[in-house]
Structure 1
Amino acid sequence: MKVVHVSQPVTAGVAAVVLELAVAQRDRGWAVTVVCPPSGWLPARARELGVDVRGWAASRSPGPSTLTETVRLRRLLNELSPDVVHLHSSKAGLAGRLASRGARPTVFQPHLWSFETANGSLRPATTVWERFASRWTDLVVCVSDDELAAGRSAGVTAPAEVVCNGVDTTRFFPGGKSAARRRLGVPEDVPLAVCVGRLAELKGQDQLLAAWPEVLRRVPDAHLVLAGDGPMGASWRARYPGSSVRWEGHTDDPAAWYTAADVVVLPSRAEGMALVPLEAMACARPVVAFDVGGVRQSVADAGAVLPPGDLAGLADAVAARLADPASAAREGNRGRRRVELSFDRGRMTDQIAVLVEKLTASERAS
């Protein structure tokens, strides 16, 4: 079996899923290649783990360079001649399906539909594209029931399956809070909320920062750590000053921050199924999040799921868990059990492998 994974972006959750799938499929004895831009940690990490990587210069968003990027990708795919092309996220889905146009079995995994993040006139255009591209898509893999429902509501007719994201429960596991805080330089006795993610409007840290003064009113000694970097970092630092907020920047060890936390917050405006809640739950930490794509399905009773944009509810839910660590710990334990049962990475990679094998078997039969 020859599989090519095409990915843009090359960092954060999408890259993590691509790497997990590539390594698992390589371990099955498949010939696996990751095609992606040469920047970011994905290509370097994939090579370290023995996965073949081919560079593909591509920007994150569609634009004037898309035609050139599509031509480059078409040449790469012709050279590699895979049995299956697996496209990850909107940009790879655009270029990859234009490049192949149904010539070889194609799996598209949106990791959040483009029309859910586009603004203005681009939103209807992306919806029309996703409908049209169904003809060149043998299988859509959605990471949550919400993502599948959104695609069907938008008129995406390609065959589709839900395969929920999974995390490595041997890397993310319950650990000692005190030891983690000592290592990270966090006072042992402060109530601590942690938010891990790219500093971008879609991830919604500005909503958490706007609610934070009310958390402080309820829990005056509380601290907030924002672990991540991104385009909105400088602007938000200037807009939301305060000694109770620590801007940690990018971290290569999110598990340490989950372990140090009393509660993990996901204030996103949109998601497919975010990895952050699953990773936090695997570390036995409660999650407070807005009810965007996949959150209710993943978190369930391991925290609080709030209406999108409910800043008062967000502040109340965060403060309640900081003020009552025993109750928060019980939610965290429920989360760990939930991840072990339903969101382990092995379950995810096995389900994808079965779907790819069925797809190629059907192609051979036809």
Structure 2
Amino acid sequence: MSDRGRTLVVTNDFPPRQGGIQTFVAALLERRPPDSLVVLASRSPGWEAYDARLPYRVVRQRTAVLLPTPATARAATALAAEHGCDTAFFGAAAPLGLLAPTLRDAGVRHLVGATHGHETGWVALPGARRLMRRIASGLDVLTYISEYTRSRLEPALGGCTRLAQLSPGVDVDRFTPAVDGTAVRRRHGLGESPVVVCVSRLVPRKGQDVLVAAWPQVLARHPGARLLLVGGGPDEARLHRAVADRRLGDSVVLTGPVTPDRLPEHYAAGDVFAMPCRTRRGGLDVEGLGMVYLEAAAVGLPVVAGTSGGAPEAVRDGETGTVVPDPRSPDAVAAAVTALLDDPARARAMGTAGRAWVERRWSWTTIAAQFAGLLEPRDD
């Protein structure tokens, strides 16, 4: 262990609980030297078995939700002292970043907190904005996942702390063009048909409803095409009704929830990836970045994206895919999808370009190096 000390990670978002933030935090820590870390986290079913496999120490509070309470503060400061932690990282800055001043008083010199996208809605609300400013003021660095989220956070939090980008990464060894989607195609009766796949939670913002509305136009040009909607969520029943109302049951498949380990093969079952996400609720319901576009690109698929929030940053428009200017328009979405189905060679070239871009810019190797730099105190 370096004489620089260890990093104390304080997080409510940690496996085996599933979710994007949990995956993000675990992936960052996986790429740090094990003896440089100690984690304070909440409990979720299966935590004992999960922690037993980790190469670094994890201490679980006896709670399902870790909050910035006096008990959590005592546990965090005790761990920092026991392990000589001179750096702390909050897996989600709000609300646990409220502990930062206490940890600084206890001798932790450098404090970093992460944001993940939903905070862009919080800073639009007076009460939540005051909380975020208080949290940011106690940190040395507050991270953002995309230029879009920075543009929303900076007006509210600029001057409180240093803002730095730390995006999620893609496991380019799991999401790869070599993944075989044959079993998924067989399971859902897709055969050799051209398949447009959407992998995402089923909520209105993601745009599966617009894909279904656009699908008759796609079928008019490509009668054998199939639409594969992968994931579960509150919009599932509404989407089933929309498919039935349009008599699309022979060409649209909803898989229901899929475990994370099976996601690569579901991407690989497609020829084109499409998720025409849109911003809702006056900007409070927005896409922070859109990792599914990057995972699809890593598998070698061209992507069709919407304009919500940071989604366009996950696509090189015209090179790795297409950003639909009006993702609420079935006509516009159908045109983008059919253009790729019309020209398989161009679609394959976009997939190849997307894979190369993800390897260069979005791999966890690149992101881990950025994270390591953020954990180092700056002299200025």
Q: TM-score, normalised by structure 1?
A: 0.82
2: CA distance, partners of 1:202 / 1:221: 28
Counterpart of 1:166 in structure 2 is 169
| Deviation (angstroms), 1:245 | 2.1
Q: Does 1:305 align with 2:331?
A: no
Amino acid at match of 2:99: A
CA distance in 2, matches of 1:189, 1:280: 19
- Could you tell me which residue of structure 2 aligns to residue 62 of structure 1? none
Pairs within 5 Å for 1:112-261 = 112-116=117-121, 123-157=125-159, 158-175=161-178, 179=182, 181-182=184-185, 184-241=187-244, 242-243=248-249, 244-252=251-259, 253-261=262-270
Letter in 1 for 2:265: A
Cα-Cα RMSD: 3.0
Q: How many residues align?
A: 346
Distance 1:84 1:210 in 2: 50
Distance 1:34 1:316 in 2: 49
- Pairwise CA distance, 1:202: 4.0
- Structure 1 residues 163 and 249: alpha-carbon distance in aligned structure 2, compared to 1, 3 A threshold: same
Q: What are the ranges of 5 or more consecutive residues in structure 1 without an aligned counterpart?
A: 60-65
Does the C-alpha gap of structure 1 residues 37 and 247 become closer, same or farther in structure 2, counting only changes over 3 Å? farther
Specify the code of the residue in structure 1 equivalent to 2:96.
G
After TM superposition, the structure 1 stretch with the greater mean CA deviation from structure 2, 109-118 or 166-175, is 109-118
Flag structure 2 segments of 5+ consecutive residues without an equivalent: 1-5, 105-109, 279-285
Counterpart position of 1:77: 76
Shift of 1:223: 1.6
The alignment partner of 1:249 has SS state of coil
Structure-1 residue corresponding to 2:282: none
Q: What is the CA deviation profile of residues 241-294 of structure 1, one whole-angstrom value per residue up to 9, with x for unaligned ones?
A: 341222212223111011111111223332222221111111111111112333
Counterpart among 264, 274, 280 of residue 265 in structure 1? 274
Q: Which moved more, 1:16-25 or 1:109-118?
A: 109-118
Contact conserved, 1:19 with 1:46, CA < 8 A, in 2? Answer: no
**CA distance 1:117–1:151, shift in 2 (3 Å):** closer
Give distance in 1, aligned partners of 2:323 and 2:148. 14
In the TM superposition, 1:7-86 aligns within 5 A as 7-8=12-13, 10-27=17-34, 29-33=35-39, 35-39=41-45, 47-55=52-60, 57=63, 70-81=69-80, 82-86=85-89
Kindly name which structure, 1 or 2, has the bigger radius of gyration based on alpha carbons.
2
**Residue identity matched to 2:152:** A
Which 10-residue stretch deviates more, 136-145 or 254-263?
136-145
CA distance in 2, matches of 1:248, 1:272: 25
CA contact (8 A) 2:273 2:293 kept: yes
Residue 277 to residue 36, structure 1, CA distance change in 2 (3 Å): farther
Deviations 1:175-234 (A, max 9, x none): 266635556444332121111122234434333333333333333332222222223333
Distance between the aligned counterparts of 1:42 and 1:295, measured in 2?
Answer: 33
What is the CA deviation profile of residues 328-349 of structure 1, one whole-angstrom value per residue up to 9, with x for unaligned ones?
1111000011111111111101
In structure 2, how many angstroms separate the alpha carbons of the residues matched to 1:194 and 1:42?
33
C-alpha contact 1:141 1:162 (8 A) present in aligned 2: yes
Deviations for 1:37-63, whole angstroms, at most 9, x for unmatched residues? 415x8986565344444445456xxxx
Check 1:44–1:285 CA distance in 2 against 1; reply closer, same or farther (3 A cut).
Answer: farther
Shift of 1:69: 6.2
Change (3 A) 1:333 1:116: same
Identity of aligned residues (%): 29
| Residue 90 (structure 2) aligns with | 87
Distance in 2 (CA, whole Å) between partners of 1:268 and 1:356 is: 33
Q: Is the 8 A contact 2:301 2:354 kept in 1?
A: yes
* Whole-Å separation in 1 of the counterparts to 2:242 and 2:190: 25
Residues 131, 176 of structure 1: alpha-carbon distance in 2 compared, 3 angstrom cutoff: closer
Matches within 5 A, 1:285-296: 285-296=301-312
Alignment check: 8 A CA contact 2:122 2:129 kept = no
Taking the aligned partners of 2:47 and 2:274, their CA distance within structure 1 comes to: 25
Could you tell me which residue of structure 2 aligns to residue 314 of structure 1? 333
| 2:264 partner letter | A
The residue aligned with 2:294 is: 278
Q: Determine if contact 1:7/1:18 at 8 Å carries over to the other structure.
A: no
Structure 2 equivalent of residue 340 of structure 1: 359
Q: Aligned pair in 2 of structure 1 residues 128, 95: CA closer, same or farther (>3 Å)?
A: closer
Partner of 1:103: helix, strand, or coil? Answer: helix
Structure 1 Cα separation of the partners of residues 243 and 49 of structure 2: 35
The one-letter code sitting in structure 2 at the alignment partner of 1:256 is: E
Whether the 8 Å CA contact 2:95–2:135 is kept in 1: the answer is no
Decide whether the 8 Å contact of 2:175 with 2:298 is kept in 1.
yes
* C-alpha deviation, 1:106, in angstroms: 2.8
